[in-house]
Amino acid sequence: MENRIEHAQVAGINLEANKKLGYYLLSNNIYYNKFHALIAASKTNSQVRWFFNEDVFFKYPWHIEPTAPISELYRIRAQQLRDQYDYIRVECSGGADSTTVVYSFLLNGIHLDEVVFRYPKLGEKNVTGNPYDTRCENTLSEWEFASKPLLNWIAANYPKVKITTHDYAKDMISDTYKNDESWIFKTKHFLQPGHVFKHDDKNLASRGVFDSAKSIAIVYGVDKPKIVLKDNKFFLYFNDVFASHSNPVVDEYTNITNEYFYWTPDMPELLAKQAHLIKNWFSMPSNNKMQNVVHWPNTDFSTRTLYEGTVKAIIYPDYDTGTFQTIKPTNNIWNEMDHWFHTNFKGTQSYNLWEAGISHLLSNIDEKYVKYLDGRPTDITVYDSVYYYLGDSDIVNTSILQTQKSLSELRINMSIPHRHCINGKLVVY
């Protein structure tokens, strides 16, 4: 890292220079904001690479399954964070990932200072209330049917935990918010209109905690391990979409750190245990016909949805898989989760600013970084990490048409080389 220039500020915005959350390398420049890096690369025609804790993950023996039970590893991780920080806030959506984070603290008697739920209440008109509608457009109903019951349980059983609900739609129409397209630098990948406002803490009542001398952790349930079956081998990998979930803006505060509960270099054995539990499940003869769910490249919408629904029951033993949850969105820019915004905010200044930010980004980055569907931009290039070898597979292809390429394989550029770490050695093919 010698002589490398770190860019932790863009458009007057101070970013958290935290390499544990991933960073982009462009020549000898390190960028903590993806869009900042892509704009710079587009001007110089330089190659962008994304790095995610390779200094630790390369050395870890991923092929060895940890012997400790997964629930014990969750407890250890919660205690690790408790020992490290004075104040811990968990960002809780009510979904499997964040709920398990909350359980890892509370069910083990480890104090949790605060739980925050983010919800655009001003945008809920005409878009919520049906418990049988699991389309992504009905995402806001997760408040009533998933999040509220969890928060009520916390309030009843753990009254010392502060519970905060943040109506971020108020921030979206506030005159105090900077009225220009620079909002794109307050997010790291997600271009949906609510994301940048959702995690902006300037209007939270708990902001007074930030002014203390305390060390503060903002903990996110990022994320389920991404497992792939490739060349008769199981691999674990990461991508920059999920690693970009946290709020990158720190403003003037140096005592706040974003922490990913699962995707952390501070406890790779937790990730390894999750990965092996998933590998073992798919390796069972009775489950071999599910191989399409993990067969590389398992990135299309249908397999990703099925994968996430399947692994929740495998790695989160305390989570009720019957909890209401809508399916995930199909794209980034015109995200179905934002149905409430397109329904209730169209034509407002907030909507115009959102469109201005998208236009500013698309006009300043090379088209090769933009994904289109039916002529409309839907996403920005996704970067994968190294693929870490977990073990061999003896799963037999159960398809009658074994010579036919999988649908997901036809959807990506197969000529792009990928880096693999197999027992500590780097292989590129």
How would you label 59-89 residue by residue, b for 16+ Cβ within 10 Å and e otherwise?
Answer: ebebbebbeeebbebbbebbebbbeebebbb
The mean pLDDT value for 47-65 works out to: 97
| Statement: residue 100 has pLDDT above 50 | yes
Yes or no: say if 181 and 364 are a contact pair by the CB < 8 Å rule: no
The mean pLDDT value for 402-416 works out to: 54
pLDDT greater at residue 279 or residue 204: 279
pLDDT band at 176 (very low <50, low <70, confident <90, very high): very low
pLDDT digits 0-9 by tens, 221-240:
999 999 999 999 999 999 99
Yes or no: say if 169 and 196 are a contact pair by the CB < 8 Å rule: no
Cα gap 333→84, rounded to integer Å: 37
The percent of residues above 70 in pLDDT, for the chain, comes to: 92
Cα gap 308→85, rounded to integer Å: 31
- Predicted TM-score (pTM) of this structure: 0.93
The mean pLDDT value for 373-394 works out to: 95
Yes or no: say if 88 and 78 are a contact pair by the CB < 8 Å rule: no
pLDDT for residue 251: 79
pLDDT for residue 80: 98
Least confident segment among 10-19, 39-48, 332-341, 367-376: 332-341
Omega within 30 of 0 (cis) for the link into 223 = yes
